[in-house]
A and B are shown apart, each in its own frame.
Chain A
Amino acid sequence: AQRVTQPEKLLSVFKGAPVELKCNYSYSGSPELFWYVQYSRQRLQLLLRHISRESIKGFTADLNKGETSFHLKKPFAQEEDSAMYYCAARKGKLQFGAGTQVVVTP
């Protein structure tokens, strides 16, 4: 079955520390991969996608096809990064992981 797995429900990091959110996918073939973010009291929004190879708000995501992973990283976490992060894959329909809550403390 197609699956997107985010093993961490909660990540608590200090401001200025690196943060890495893990995402693994199980799909036949190569799905499109995304990270979405939901800040407190805001709607879900796209953060970045793997084909763009871009850095948004200091975040990057590395696609590793061998390990079927798409981990999200930021070298220096900021308090405004506190949010819920969802990894998602699409081959046809968009499928989300369960999400990781990131809390950045000063």
Chain B
Amino acid sequence: GAGVSQTPSNKVTEKGKYVELRCDPISGHTALYWYRQSLGQGPEFLIYFQGTGAADDSGLPNDRFFAVRPEGSVSTLKIQRTERGDSAMYLCASSPPSPIAGGTLYEQYFGPGTRLTVT
């Protein structure tokens, strides 16, 4: 079946511009996560949705970053007044509504990412 998809795969924008990054989770997955991965680092948590609501947005670095998931499926990460330091790979992941067999953990399935470059 289809995995998590993200569009665009690459985005180049000028400093100060507004960008939107889109994530399509696996159908039926109620949890959705956004991560940012800078060069040479592991993914860094940004925000977690359970359904339509942001259950944890403690990873958003500042108020220029905002994410929505209005219908509990597709999510958009929005960055206002982009800065060069925002350049990174932005990853989305989704997880199913029930634990996988044999455990209490929710496996996260990752998308291919959007590489954002701010010039």
Contact = CB atoms under 8 A, between A and B. Distances in A.
Interface of A: 4, 9, 32, 43-46, 49, 51-52, 86, 88, 90, 92-99
25 contacts: A9-B40, A43-B4, A43-B111, A43-B112, A43-B113, A44-B43, A44-B110, A45-B110, A46-B108, A49-B103, A49-B105, A51-B105, A52-B102, A52-B103, A86-B43, A90-B105, A93-B45, A93-B56, A93-B59, A94-B33, A94-B45, A96-B42, A96-B44, A98-B41, A98-B42
A98 B111 CA distance: 19
By size class, the interface of chain B is 20 to 34
Most buried by B among A9, A43, A88: A43
Contacts, number: 46
7 closest Cβ pairs, A-B complex: A96-B42, A44-B110, A93-B45, A43-B110, A96-B43, A86-B42, A43-B112
B58 interface: yes
